[in-house]
């Protein structure tokens, strides 16, 4: 196991940091990421991508988390475009992937099982609801998981602007809206069927560990940025004629935060590396999720506490990392859920 990045990966990381740090306008950042080829870093070269590995994708995700940018690499590319690139037909790949690489289209995912039913009465159609779908109002397609009457899961690329699809805005604490999608016998033409019922599980088994790991890496970026801001604050902010960092309680708390960030770093990159190498990663992913939820939350709370009233200033960047970190924790399901998952994995391997 070697977590040392090679020269090309280090150059990629620096490029991502340079682009994301060069502007505070999220639209401009997105365009610059597209022009540099970073949006398609893990998508096939013949479709306009760079053909990189999952580790390289995560390097860009980490830079996004550390910058506070609202760049939907996970929600708009990994959740929908990546499975199309790997499992889609030639026609689906050639139609949907190039615009993703160019930064002109997004394919989010709505993958919670059990909420949407699919039927085939001379053609596929979806009925049901799916809450909290990001980017649905701007997506080219939304990748929707739907179950048939026998409980078998299929995956369908749904046009969110179809007359049989209703989008209801749901405001979130991050300031970015998500959407409740209602499907009223929404038709899915044959060319937009990614996997028929009974064949979707293979795709989800490939996709969901990558989504979890990418969220852990994003959480790492948020935590590292919050730690850096807090360390600078403790060095420069004085109280009673001394820097705040000179007080034992403050120095001990930020030392604990440093250890928590390093724990996140080790476990997140272990999971990413194992996935990129095609190794069994279930245990590593669950461990990374626990660290992201438990330690990540602790780091961000410590950063707020040590900043005092400044942490509530919306002109100061800390609030972005705290809000994104809390969203990551909620999407991952929380530390207890990660421990339960890990316990199931360990119990299964023991038996």
Give per-residue pLDDT as tens, 269-280: 999 999 999 999
**Strand 124-134 to 142-147 pairing:** unpaired
The pLDDT score that the predictor gives to residue 276 is: 96
The pLDDT score that the predictor gives to residue 250 is: 87
Q: What tokens does 253 get? A: 């708390």
The pLDDT score that the predictor gives to residue 247 is: 84
Exposure string of 131-148, with b = 16+ CB inside 10 Å and e = fewer, is: ebbbbbeebbbbbbbbbb
Of residues 303, 324, 297, 292, the one with CA closest to residue 70: 324
- Asked if residues 101 and 43 have their Cβ atoms less than 8 Å apart, the reply is yes
CA dist., res. 67 & res. 88, Å (int): 32
Give per-residue pLDDT as tens, 325-338: 999 999 999 999 99
> Helix, strand or coil for residue 207?
helix
* CATH class of the structural domain 201-350: mainly alpha
Residue 341 CA, distance from chain mean position: 19
Instruction: Tell me the C-alpha to C-alpha distance, in Å, between residue 3 and each of 142, 271, 274, 292.
Output: 34, 11, 11, 18
> Helix, strand or coil for residue 218?
helix
Our separate counts of H helices and E strands in the chain read: 11, 10
CA dist., res. 135 & res. 345, Å (int): 33
CA dist., res. 87 & res. 319, Å (int): 38
Which of the listed CATH numbers 3.40.50.300, 1.10.540.10, 3.30.499.10, 3.90.1330.10 matches domain 7-102?
A: 1.10.540.10
CA dist., res. 41 & res. 160, Å (int): 26
The pLDDT score that the predictor gives to residue 177 is: 95
Q: What tokens does 207 get? A: 């996709």
Give 60's Cβ-side CA count (13 Å radius). Answer: 29
Q: What tokens does 54 get? A: 């999952």
Q: Where in the chain is the domain with CATH 2.40.110.10?
A: 109-197
Of residues 183, 194, 19, 163, the one with CA closest to residue 117: 183
- Asked if residues 54 and 210 have their Cβ atoms less than 8 Å apart, the reply is yes
Q: Where in the chain is the domain with CATH 1.10.540.10?
A: 7-102
CA dist., res. 48 & res. 29, Å (int): 19
What's the CATH fold of domain 109-197?
Butyryl-CoA Dehydrogenase, subunit A; domain 2 (2.40.110)
Q: Where in the chain is the domain with CATH 1.20.140.10?
A: 201-350
Q: What residues of the chain score a pLDDT lower than 50?
A: none
The pLDDT score that the predictor gives to residue 350 is: 66
Phi and psi of 145, rounded to 5°? -90, 130
């Amino acid at each position: 196991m070697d977590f040392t990045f090679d020269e090309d990966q280090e150059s990629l990381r620096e490029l991502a940091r340079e682009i994301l740090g060069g502007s505070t306008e999220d639209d401009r950042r997105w365009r610059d990421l597209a022009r540099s080829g970073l949006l398609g870093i893990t998508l096939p070269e013949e479709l306009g991508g760079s053909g990189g590995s999952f580790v390289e994708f995560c390097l860009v995700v980490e830079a996004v988390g550390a910058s506070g940018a609202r760049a939907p690499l996970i929600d708009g590319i990994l959740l929908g475009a990546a499975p199309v690139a790997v499992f889609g037909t030639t026609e689906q790949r050639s139609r949907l992937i190039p615009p993703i690489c160019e930064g002109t289209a997004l394919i989010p995912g709505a993958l919670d099982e059990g909420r949407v039913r699919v039927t085939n009465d001379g053609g596929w159609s979806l009925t049901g609801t799916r809450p909290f779908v990001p980017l649905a109002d701007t997506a080219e397609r939304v990748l929707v998981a739907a179950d048939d009457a026998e409980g078998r899961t299929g995956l369908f690329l749904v046009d969110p602007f179809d007359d049989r699809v209703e989008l209801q805005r749901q405001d979130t604490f991050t300031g970015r809206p998500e959407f409740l999608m209602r499907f009223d016998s929404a038709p899915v033409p044959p060319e937009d069927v990614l996997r028929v019922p009974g064949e979707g599980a293979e795709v989800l088994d490939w996709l969901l560990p990558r989504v979890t790991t990418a969220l852990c890496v994003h959480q790492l970026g948020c935590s590292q940025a919050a730690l850096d801001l807090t360390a600078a604050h403790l060095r420069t902010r004085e109280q009673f004629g001394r820097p705040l960092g000179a007080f034992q309680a403050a120095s001990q708390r930020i030392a604990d935060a440093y250890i928590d960030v390093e724990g996140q770093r080790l476990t997140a990159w272990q999971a990413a590396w194992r996935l990129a190498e095609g190794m069994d990663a279930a245990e590593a992913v669950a461990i990374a999720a626990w660290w992201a939820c438990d330690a990540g939350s602790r780091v961000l709370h410590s950063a707020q506490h040590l900043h005092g009233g400044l942490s509530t200033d919306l002109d100061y960047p800390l609030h972005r990392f705290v809000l994104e970190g809390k969203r990551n924790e909620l999407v991952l399901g929380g530390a207890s859920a990660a421990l339960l998952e890990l316990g199931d994995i360990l119990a299964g391997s023991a038996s």
